Amino acid sequence: MSEQLTRRLALLGEDDHHALLGQGLRGIERETLRVDGAGQLARTPHPAALGSALTHPQITTDYAEALLEFITPAEHDIATTLQRLDTIHRFAAQQLGSEMFWSESMPCELPGEAEIEIAWYGKSHIGMLKHVYRRGLALRYGKAMQCIAGVHYNYSLAEGLWPLLAADEGKQAMPRLAYQSEAYFGLIRNFRRHSWLLMYLFGASPALATSFLRGREHQLERLSDDTLYLPYATSLRMSDLGYQNNAQAGLRPHENCLDSYVTTLTDAVKRPYQAYDALGVKRDGEWIQLNTNVLQIENEYYATIRPKRVIKTGERPVQALCRRGVQYVEVRCMDVDPFEPVGIALETGRFLDTFLLYCALEASPKIAPFESDIYSQNFARAVKEGRKPGLTLQRGNEQVELRVWGAELIERLRPVAALLDQDLGSSAHADALEQQLAKIEHPDRTPSARVLGALATHGGSFPAFGLAQSRLHAAHFRDGALLPMEQAVFEDMARASLAEQAAIEAADSGSFDDFVAAYNNSTLCCE
């Protein structure tokens, strides 16, 4: 352990400060495709009984009309967060009729591009803006890639922790929000150094349906007539399969400070890109993308982790960050766990809490450009070859076996887990570490290896395995009805969201063209 980590752990272990550990927040966003009973992409609209995809706080859609997104409230304990996530699933499952949640990150066998419906949010200006943005994504990256699902883990530390850590560093004179943002960027840098470990431990997409690639060239191996894979891959979802030859290549917002990060993204959403410019923003009078810039909006930048701040109506993400600093981080590289009905296990959450707290407390030097390239290369190796015997990653000037480095990182996490367990009054975080160490020692216990083992029992067919797991999960949710009070709460939320969407549509004024111009010029929300 570094001297800084040792000092900070001792500080947080003191009676006067220990309660701060339990005051951070955890939230989950889980994406999942709706499929029919045969495992084919659902062709039905977003069910009205789920409420408005535009305004519902917990149930919406991501890219495709069939790609559901469940958003939990933020909770202090990940166990409570997962209970909330389970409840959302159970309510939604009741509204789907014969449809089910697809159990995998990589999509089911997909129909032609024209038959994949883009998510619809109604006729309001803001609803159309969300829809046109997704039209732009289809234009730029294809619809198949936008059907990939993941689990996003939102994580924050207690607001009261930052003055304590600032004083420990001798930075108590620094404005609190400025220090808080600086500290979160330290977390992000350490995350980039070590996130390859998450891919090895939790990657669960070593195979995909052949229909996903749409005839593109690839280096995958054929497992069966309908399935492609890489034998040692952990997460093809996080590989470069979906991000080839586009304007984002080489775009790397700087993780060393908030100002640099915001400047990079602001430039990307204002700088024209020749290939997109040639397409224009309208075709036959219909909007096809919001603009012709490198990014239509900041969220188009695909990152494994993002600094975040809750935004106000009409406010852009970079505006929120500039005005009020970083509030939390969003971890975006987690695959859906196909063996868990809600897509993520409690033990995974306990490990993530330990890992992210370590990233926040450990010393985090600034990242030089060549180091950023190394971290990206290590991540890419882990997603495509993570379980390969003897695989090495670059650490400084040396090559180190992934399994050796992984075991060393687990050991460095132990005192952090002990501190969290002291607050929780259990051994849950230490137990989660032991489970992950077992995966390092026994690669066949990783989710990616388990998926390949399960595929073998389904004739090597990814679609068949995905369908079988989806049916198991559907039965799980059917067998546990909601309490009447829980049911009533969700029904009320659905009705309220539909009424809110109707009110937004009724209140609109002016043209959509003017609304888009105002959004692109960042003038919708002024302070």
Residue 253: what pLDDT? Answer: 63
User: Mind giving me the DSSP string for 113-130?
Assistant: GGGSPBP---SSHHHHHH
Q: Where are the domains of the chain?
A: 3-520
Side chain identity at 67, as an amino acid letter?
A: L
d(CA 428, CA 420): 9
Under DSSP, the state recorded for 32 is E
What 3-state DSSP class applies to 435?
helix
Give CA–CA dist 248/250, Å, rounded.
6
Question: What is the dotted CATH code of the domain comprising 3-520?
Answer: 3.30.590.20
Length of the chain measured in residues: 527
Query: Cα(5)–Cα(370) distance, rounded to whole angstroms?
Result: 25
Measuring CA to CA, which residue among 458, 466, 459 is closest to residue 108? 466
Question: 3-13 vs 161-168: helix axis angle to the nearest 10?
Answer: 130
Bridge partners of residue 334, in order along the sequence: 151
Residue 526 has a pLDDT of 36
Helix (H) or strand (E) holding 164: helix 161-168
Q: Give the residues of the chain that fall short of pLDDT 70.
A: 242-245, 250, 252-253, 523-527
Among residues 243, 246, 244, 265, the alpha carbon closest in space to that of 254 is found at 265
Q: Which helix (H) or strand (E) holds 317?
A: helix 317-324
The pLDDT of residue 527 is 38
Between β-strands 282-283 and 151-156, what pairing exists: parallel, antiparallel or unpaired? Answer: unpaired
Consecutive H or E run containing 26: strand 25-35
